[in-house]
Structures are given as C-alpha cells and as structure tokens.
A and B are shown apart, each in its own frame.
Chain A
Amino acid sequence: MSMVESDTLQWSLRKENKQARTAWGLTAPALILMILILLLPVAVAGMLSLTNYSLGNAGFDWVGFKNYDRLFSRSTYEKMFIATFTYVVVVVPISMGLGLGAALLVNSIGRLGDIYKTIYFLPVMATLLAMAIVWEFMLHPTIGVINQTLEVSCGTFLEFIPFLAYGCSDGFPLWLGDRDYAIWVLCFIGIWQGFGFNMVLYLAGLTAVHRELYHAAEMDGAKNAWERFRLVTWPALGPTTVFVVTISCIRAFQVFDTVEAFWPQGGGPNKSTYVMMFAIYEKGVQQNLIGIGSAITMLFLIFVMFLTLMQRWLVERRVHY
C-alpha cells in the first residue's frame, strides 16, 4: 500500500476494496478448480497412506506408519531410492552443463544461432514416449543402429579403444537389458531430452548480462575467455542457475515415460531403474496396493516441496549480483 493523503484515504480505500473484489472474482474460477483438483487428492493420498486399502475390498484397516516403515526397510524400495537419486544426481548437473555450454556456443555465433536453438529445443517438445520408443529401437542389441555401427569398427584401427575391443570379441552391451548399463542409458536419454530446455533458460539469462561488465572485467585484468566467464558470466547467471537446477531436479524426479516405455514390467534389469514415479504406478495401479503407493506418493511430494521451498529461499536470499 502506498502513502495516501488523509482526505483521499477513504476514497482510495473504497476503490481498493472494489478492486480486490473484482480481482478475487476474476481469479476465483481458476482457484477453485485448482483447490478441488489439487488439494483434495493430496489429502486423500495422505489418508490412504496410513491404511491397507485396496480396490475391491469392502473396508480397510488403519495401519499407522507401517507403509512408511516398509519403504525404509525393504530392499526393493532401497533400489527405488538409489535409482531415483542416481538419475537426479547424474541428469541434473550434466544437462545443466550441456545446456550452459550450448547456450554460450549458440550465443556466440549470432543470427545463425536461432536455427541451432530451434533444433536443440526439439527433443524438449517432442512427445517423450514416442522418442523413447525410437531410442529403444536404436539401442536394440542386434538390429539397433547403435550396435550395428559399433560393429563396423571391428577389425579397424579403432579397436585400440578398450570398449570397442571388448565389444568386438565378447559382443556389445545389451544396453537396456543390461543391469550395468540400464540406468546410465536412462540418464543419457534424460539428458538428451532435457538439456535444450536449460539452454533456452540460459540464453535468456545471457541477454541480461551487460556488455559493460565484460569491459570492466577486462580493465581489471580478466584477459582470457575463461576468466571473463568465471568473473562475469557465471555470477550474472546466478538466478538462472537456481531456476535451472530446481526445475531440472523436479523434472528428473518425475521421470516416468522412458521407464514405462523400456521396461513396462518391473523397472528394469535387477530393478536398477525402478524410479519412484514408476513404483507409484506399479504398486498403486497395477498391483492394487494403494496404501503403499500412497506412501510413496507422499514421500515424493515432500521431496518436491522441499526443492521448491529451497528455490524460493535461495531466490529471496538474493542470488542477484
């Protein structure tokens, strides 16, 4: 509220009241819909996570925190946490780095950069499930284009690379069917899909970096490109980075489409790619264990809320320079 003269106070208050009413009136439809569709289900999930409810049963028993207890004691769920966190920890920094690198490259070449930008952005927009199927075909152990291309190198000088030499004698990896590779392939596709989004965010961030700052840094003795990046670009991109990291984390936590496309049953070889979203779907919907599915949902929600609040806190602590 701004400072107001005392004689106009009443008038302005009335005006403000009227404005507030109109504003709430305009926001109401969207707000009500979101409360109904968002808060209600959270409450339902929270309640169900304390029961052993399953569809078809007449009633259910309250089991307290037993479902949560199970999540932290069974090895399946240990694998679930490992797969989820491995995915997040690998995909977030690499897609951030690649996004930043691509943004700097695209930014440095001027007008032509627009074409690259558009193309790098395609995987972000394209239907992930459809692209996952394409990757599955390309990664097929025998008829996939990737292993077939690798085989071409057999018998050439390229065999000095240990990976190729090993593949030529003992066969190339099964990729998606291989418990040592599955999670890394999943990460790779996550990076392929997501880095363009980060690039776009960084490009927007770069437009806000003032030219004079570079001149000033040069005056201060930042001679080479790396110094200029370290002293000017990177700090100026602080707010963008916070945003990129939060949004990438949230997106990475939610990985589902690729896992569902590659391993519709069971979450990959040796459950190495049994990520949380998939676990919710498998337990709650496919196996009708709604209590445990809801418990995973609640944990998931807590992680994501934590990340969002963390971002807000970081932003409010002024990451601007």
Chain B
Amino acid sequence: MRAVSQKKRNSTASQGILLLIILVFCIFPFYWMVTTSLKDQIVALQTPPAWVFEVTFGNYTEVLFKDGVWENLLNSLIIAVCTTFLSIFLGCPAAFALARFEFRGKKDLWFWFITNRMVSPIVLALPFFLIVRNLKLLDTHLVLILIYLTFNLPIVIWICTDQFRAIPRDLDEAAVIEGASQWRIFRSICLPLAAPGVAVSGIFSFIFSWNELMYALVLTRNNAKTAPAMAVSFMEGYNLPYGKIMATSTLIVIPVIIFALIASKQLVRGLTMGAVK
C-alpha cells in the first residue's frame, strides 16, 4: 500500500516538474521582452545579462512619440476594430441561416466556408497586390480591412453557427406562433442568446487582424502601415537599439495578451468547437 502511494507521489512530482519546464519554455521570451524594454540601452546589452536593474520607461516614450509608433498602433487598431465589426455584421446572419434552415446546397456551402478557414487566403497575396494596385488602393486602411474580412468571416461563421445551434428550437417555434418573422427571431431571440459566442468570434477577428504581417507588408507603405509591419523595419542595420525594439514588441503584444488572459476559457472553447466533432 505504502509503495503504491510513494510511487504515485513520485509520478505527481515528475508531472509537476515537466509542467514547470514547459511553463518556463513558454513564458521566458515574454519575460525577457518586457524586462529588456524597461532597461536602459547600456544595461540591455550588458554581458552577462542583468537580472536586477533600474526600471526606466525611456524606451517607451522614445518609441511612441519620437519614432511615431503610436501612428502604426493606431492604424492597427482602426483596421482590427473595423474588421471585427464588419465580420460580425456579415457573419452572424450567415451563421444563423446555416444553423436554422434547411436548404439545397447547404452542405457544400458549409464545407466551403470551413475550407476557406483552413486554406487561409494568405496565398493570394500576389494577385491581391496586383488588383489593389490597379484599383489604386495601395496603402489604404480599406484594403486591409477587406482582406482581413475574408479570413475572419469563416471563423465568425464557424463559431456563431455553433452558438445558434445550441439555442433550443422551441424558442423559435414559440415565437413563430406569436407571429414573429424570421428576422425578428434572429434579432430579438437568437442574437442576444448567442452574444457570448459572438463576442468570442469578435475577439478572434481582432487578434488575427492585429497579428497579421504579410498583407500588411505587401499592401501598405506609410499611411496605413500597421505596427507589425513597422517593427520589421526596425530590424535593419547593425547596433540595433534593442531596448526600443523590445518596447515596440511589448506594445504590439500587450493588447493580445490581455485579451488572451481575460477570455482564455472562451477563446479555447471557440477554437475547439466544431474541431473535434
């Protein structure tokens, strides 16, 4: 009996150690990023690395206001917010239809939305570049918003369809007897009930648009340049100002991390819904 519990305790301990190792593996880059961003340039490049140091916010003020990164952050924000609202606005009705109605071609339509979610349109950078260039829309917010829509719509539709399916049909039927139209049912019954799921899909839209790099590089120059595209140009040359670079990275990552921490449970559920069925 005692041997068994001893063995169990050992295995629990080794599990704990493994979990901690993975934890450090995951989190160390974040730790290093934030601490370096709070170091003076000389301290940041010190050998051996300084683990205890004087905190300074100089890097942040310099990056935000002298190098104008706030403009890029604002661009990122505008684009991400617009994409999020549009994809919910267009995606919710589609999801409702897929969840509630039977119609010919529904299965193919569904498969198509889902395929798009996987074959993300990232491969289409080149044709987009040409089309956009001919339409003289390079370097505008609108272009990035439209393109991000295409890869956010399927996700929104995917998550929201699941949400709508989870709402009992009795509610609809009761409403029909009361004389409500389908639109009314959608707006006044299903949408409020599905709100948490819709919010999660919105957060995903926001994060994916915020994180995107390739299209931002290809389709923007100055006006609409997003923060990640800006950060790339920081990395050119020698004697890089690592303190400033890490401050920029922190500014880019922080909104995402906040979302991920606040809504982690819902995000995880949103991602895995439909995936495992």
Contacts and interface: CB of A to CB of B under 8 A. Distances in A.
A261 B235 contact: yes
Given A34-B154, A116-B23, A148-B49, 15 more contacts: A27-B109, A37-B147, A37-B149, A41-B128, A102-B22, A119-B23, A122-B27, A125-B267, A126-B253, A131-B29, A134-B246, A138-B29, A260-B213, A264-B232, A281-B218
Interface string B245-273: 11011101100110111001101110110
A76 B215 CA distance: 24
A53 B23 CA distance: 50
User: Which of A121, A151, A312 has most B Cβ within 10 Å?
Assistant: A121
Contacts of A58: none
Contact of B249 (A131, A201, A204, A239): A131
Interface in B113-134: 113, 115-116, 118-131, 133
29 contacts: A26-B94, A26-B97, A29-B93, A31-B94, A38-B150, A40-B131, A41-B131, A55-B133, A120-B22, A120-B23, A121-B268, A122-B26, A123-B29, A125-B259, A127-B228, A129-B228, A129-B232, A142-B47, A192-B29, A204-B269, A204-B276, A260-B213, A261-B235, A280-B125, A281-B125, A284-B129, A285-B218, A293-B126, A301-B123
A128 B126 contact: no
A119 to B, nearest CB: 6
Given A143-B47, A308-B118, A37 B146 contact: yes
Contacts, number: 281
Interface in B34-51: 36, 45, 47-49
The 10 A-B pairs at the shortest CB distance, nearest first, are namely: A41-B127, A20-B103, A204-B272, A23-B101, A26-B97, A130-B249, A44-B127, A125-B260, A30-B94, A26-B93
Given A34-B150, A256-B214, A134 B25 contact: no
A71 interface: no
A305 B276 contact: no
B143 to A, nearest CB: 11
B147 A122 contact: no
Interface of B: 15-16, 18-19, 22-23, 25-27, 29-30, 32-33, 36, 45, 47-49, 90-91, 93-94, 96-98, 100-104, 106, 109, 111, 113, 115-116, 118-131, 133, 146-147, 149-150, 153-154, 157, 182, 186, 207, 210-211, 213-214, 217-218, 228, 231-232, 234-236, 242, 245-246, 248-250, 252-253, 256-257, 259-261, 264-265, 267-269, 271-272, 275-277
A81 interface: no
A168 B122 CA distance: 43
Interface in A106-128: 106, 108-109, 114, 116-123, 125-128
B235 to A, nearest CB: 6
A117 B36 contact: no
A50 to B, nearest CB: 14
Given A16-B102, A19-B102, A137-B246, A120 B253 contact: no
Interface of A: 1, 16, 19-20, 22-27, 29-31, 33-34, 37-38, 40-42, 44-45, 48, 55, 98, 101-102, 105-106, 108-109, 114, 116-123, 125-131, 133-138, 142-143, 145, 148, 151-152, 192, 196-197, 200-201, 203-205, 208, 239-240, 243, 246-247, 250, 254, 256-257, 260-261, 264, 277, 280-281, 284-285, 290, 293-294, 297, 300-301, 304-305, 308, 312
A40 B128 CA distance: 9
A27 B98 contact: yes
A284 B211 contact: no
Contact of A129 (B100, B231, B269): B231
A250 B242 CA distance: 33
Contact of A26 (B29, B96, B133, B246): B96
A106 to B, nearest CB: 7
A17 to B, nearest CB: 9
A34 B217 CA distance: 22
B228 A30 contact: no
A33 B214 contact: no
B27 A192 contact: no
A145 B124 CA distance: 38
